[in-house]
Every structure is written in structure tokens, then in C-alpha cells.
């Protein structure tokens, strides 16, 4: 896992992530640099995991194939959902993305997509701030 990732790592939490961000901002300000913070809400991120992209990533980046990859594909393929409230039920919708409700591997599958990012992203995250003076 990337060094700066706090989620799904033992000994890391939202508290350690917040402390790291605060430390980086204070250090930049102390050095006379401009600091900016952009916050994104990824609370529904698991709902955006595309099944085809996930299976391709497992195959290309992690070398999964044969029965293992077929198991993942069969697990994700043919899933549907609907909403029921009282006596009313919505139409059934077939899923091409998202993770099944109650799935214990949801976090690790989402991380699989995130962990394979380009070195350019890592350079942006870990490079020192650019001075504006």
C-alpha cells in the first residue's frame, strides 16, 4: 500500500491522516509557501466500482486468471437490486458496478482500483510544495 494511505492499514486512522495533513499545511506556511486543502467526499465510492474494470485490473495488475478470475466474475455477474418500502417495490435493476451489500471484501476490492495509480500521482502527493516567491 502507498505510504501515505491511512485507510485499511493497521495503526492508521482518520486521526493520523488529519494530523499528517495539518502537519504538512503548518510546515508549508512556516516555510512561507501557500497551502490549500481540497476535501472530497468518497462515502459512496464503493458504489462506483465497475465490475469489468475491476476484473481487468485483477487480471492485468495482479496476474489473476483461470478459476480464480472466473470466481470473481461469477460472483459479480448477474447481481441485481431493488428497493422495497412497505408494500411497494421498485423495478429490479441489474448491476454493472458497486459491491454487493454485506460484502466483506468491498474495501479490499476498492483499494485494488486505487492502489494501481500512476507514479505521477505519487510524485504530486509526495513532492515538496512549489514556492510562490
CA pseudo-torsion sign 56, 62, 63, 68? negative
In this structure, what C-alpha cell is assigned to residue 26? Answer: 503548518
Q: How far apart are CA 50 and CA 61, in angstroms?
A: 16
Q: Which residues are paired to 88 by β-bridges?
A: 85
Residue range 20-32: mean pLDDT, rounded: 92
**Could you tell me if 68 and 23 are in contact, meaning their C-beta atoms sit under 8 angstroms apart?**
no
Report the percent of the chain where pLDDT is more than 90: 18
Q: What is the structure's pLDDT at 121?
A: 46
Half-sphere exposure in the Cβ direction for 49 (13 Å, CA): 25
On the question of pLDDT at 19 being above 80, the answer is yes
User: Each residue of 53-80: pLDDT tens digit?
Assistant: 888 888 888 888 999 899 888 888 888 8
DSSP 44: T
Angle at 17 between CA 35 and CA 41, to 5 degrees: 80
Q: How far apart are CA 106 and CA 109, in angstroms?
A: 5
In this structure, the number of other CB atoms found within 10 A of the CB of residue 63 comes to: 9
Amino acid at each position: 500500500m502507498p505510504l501515505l494511505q491511512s485507510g485499511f492499514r493497521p495503526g492508521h486512522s482518520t486521526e493520523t491522516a488529519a494530523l499528517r495533513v495539518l502537519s504538512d499545511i503548518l510546515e508549508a506556511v512556516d516555510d512561507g509557501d501557500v497551502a490549500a486543502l481540497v476535501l472530497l467526499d468518497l462515502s459512496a465510492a464503493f458504489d462506483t466500482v465497475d465490475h469489468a474494470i475491476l476484473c481487468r485490473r485483477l487480471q492485468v495488475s495482479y496476474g489473476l486468471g483461470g478459476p480464480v478470475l472466473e470466481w470473481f466474475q461469477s460472483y459479480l455477474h448477474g447481481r441485481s437490486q431493488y428497493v422495497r418500502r412497505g408494500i411497494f417495490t421498485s423495478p429490479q435493476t441489474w448491476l454493472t458496478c458497486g459491491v454487493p451489500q454485506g460484502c466483506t471484501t468491498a474495501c479490499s476490492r476498492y483499494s485494488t482500483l486505487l492502489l494501481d495509480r500512476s507514479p505521477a500521482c505519487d510524485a504530486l502527493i509526495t513532492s515538496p510544495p512549489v514556492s510562490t516567491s
